[in-house]
Amino acid sequence: MLGHDISGNGRVVAAVLTASLLMLLSGSGYRILAARLAAPVNTTPIDPNDLAQFPSQIGGWTGQDVPLDEAVVRATDTDAHISRRFSRADSMDSVYLYVACGVKARDLMPHRPEVCYTGNGWTLVDRRSADVPLSDGLRLPCNLLHFSRGSLQGGEVVVLDYYIVDGQYCPDVSLLRSKAWRGSGTVRYVAQVEIVSTVTGTASADSAAKLACTFAAESALFIAKLFGDEPANPGPVKSPGSPKGE
């Protein structure tokens, strides 16, 4: 009986020590990653004039700039951005395109739809991943997030969100974290793309998501070419939790 108790206590102690070690390693890894994200970059910031070359006509879509308040621009910590509404002449369909670009991984990572929208009073109703086929044979990995402001304030939107990290498509910040683990200087640029489609009274969230995916497929190559890279899909992204994982 005594032996059983000792054995049981030993297992408890072992479990606690293991958990403590994991927490220590996790905290250490987080601090290392944070330090590397905060390290000075040696890459030239993206010129806003380069993004100004983005076409206002994409297929049947016509775009019109939507100026952002300077305070909003400063808060996003971007080097350059695109803010434009695109409409289709043969219908009432329209989407809002926002592309945020920069070379400082630490500044861009916090500004994600699930953070910024919920922080401004929206409720995340649904989130799902999608792979949008592109004309060049690649697939665009992205996330579709459905937000609502509730019955009193009204309003629903679907946000299609993806990243381009040094010419590679990525649905979230996992590739950015992986590159940052090797040192923020290895990240030449990051572009976060958001395509917002409004859920109207006659449309469903599914139809809004379909519209966002349609525009994403037609605009992805134009966005990627702004940075002079041939777009590509990344391979498996390894966790940045340990240097050996790279």
From 119-128, 153-162, 176-185, 219-228, the region with the lowest mean pLDDT:
176-185
Percent share of the chain, pLDDT over 90: 35
DSSP 115-169: HHHHHTT-EEEEEEEEEEE-TTS-EEEEEEEEEE-HHHH--EEEEEEEEEETTEE
Where along the chain do its domains lie?
Answer: 48-235
Residue where the block lists tokens 């002449």: 89
Give the model confidence (pLDDT) of 4-34 as tens digits: 443 444 444 344 434 433 433 344 343 434 4
Per-chain mean pLDDT for the chain = 75
171/140 Cα distance (integer angstroms): 8
pTM: 0.74
207/161 Cα distance (integer angstroms): 16
The predicted pLDDT at position 41 comes to: 47
Residues contacting residue 88 through CB under 8 Å, at least 6 positions apart: 60, 61, 62, 94
Give the model confidence (pLDDT) of 46-94 as tens digits: 778 888 889 999 999 999 999 988 887 777 777 888 999 999 988 889 9
